[in-house]
């Protein structure tokens, strides 16, 4: 079943890949789980599509590629990262770990997986800019786990000197007007908030690349 889901996601991703040559445009890859994939909203309402709109409104030559996969864990992301890196990547936005937290996976294991993903991107594309998006989990697994999980992202951002989005759902989480009924996934309005959180960190990176 997991293999089937992976193959379907791969085919969908190919369908959204741009037709331009690699020299025409720089690629921004959002690599994440259901938050990135836009679970429960239309593809054009998910925050990566909203980022593309922001980029296009400025006339910048960047193409956003949505590499989100619903249900993805950090271990699953590590398994598919090499396939995703077959296409050149100029900006890599890593949004993974939320499902690990919901499952109570050991923070150390999640951190190691995210480290390996970062290092594989750096090894394959040394000039690529990597942005790390943080996630937080509810305290039902204990205050210590909640604190360690949140700190994990800050530690990774510091270790690899990465631009950092501390909490990608900041301003949307816990707001019933911005979240779907599951209280996990943002609705269309929530994705607008997420896009602003991402854009605040991503825009300066893109500006720097253009200068």
Catalytic (active-site) positions: 34, 182, 185
Identify the DSSP state of 23.
Answer: T
Q: Decide the pairing of beta strands 62-68 and 91-95.
A: unpaired
Helix (H) or strand (E) holding 31: strand 26-32
DSSP per residue, 159-207: HHT--EES-TTTTTTT-TTTB-TTSSSB-HHHHHHHHHHHHHHHHHHHH
HSE-CB at 121 with a 13 A cutoff on CA atoms is: 28
Contacts of 42 (CB under 8 A, 6+ apart): 188
As beta bridge partners, residue 14 has none
Q: Are 89 and 18 in contact (CB under 8 A)?
A: no
Distance in angstroms (rounded) separating the CA atoms of residues 52 and 63 = 7
Distance in angstroms (rounded) separating the CA atoms of residues 127 and 190 = 32
């Amino acid at each position: 079943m997991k293999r089937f889901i992976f193959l379907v996601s791969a085919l969908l991703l190919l369908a959204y890949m741009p037709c331009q040559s690699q020299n025409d445009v720089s690629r921004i890859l959002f690599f994440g789980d259901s938050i990135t994939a836009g679970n429960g909203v239309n593809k054009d309402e998910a925050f990566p599509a909203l980022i593309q709109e922001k980029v296009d409104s400025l006339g910048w030559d960047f193409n956003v590629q949505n590499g989100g996969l619903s249900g993805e864990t950090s271990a699953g992301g590590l398994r598919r990262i090499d396939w995703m890196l077959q296409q050149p990547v100029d900006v890599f936005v890593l949004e993974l770990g939320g499902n690990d937290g919901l499952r109570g996976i050991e923070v150390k294991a999640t951190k190691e997986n995210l480290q390996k993903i970062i290092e594989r991107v750096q090894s394959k594309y040394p000039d690529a800019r990597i942005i790390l998006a943080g996630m937080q989990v509810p305290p039902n697994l204990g205050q210590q786990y909640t604190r360690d999980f949140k700190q994990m992202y800050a530690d990774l951002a510091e270790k690899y000197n990465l631009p950092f989005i501390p909490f990608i759902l900041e301003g949307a989480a816990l707001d019933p007007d911005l979240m779907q009924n599951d209280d996990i996934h943002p609705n269309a309005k929530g994705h607008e908030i997420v896009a602003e959180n991402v854009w605040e960190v991503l825009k300066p990176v893109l500006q720097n690349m253009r200068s």
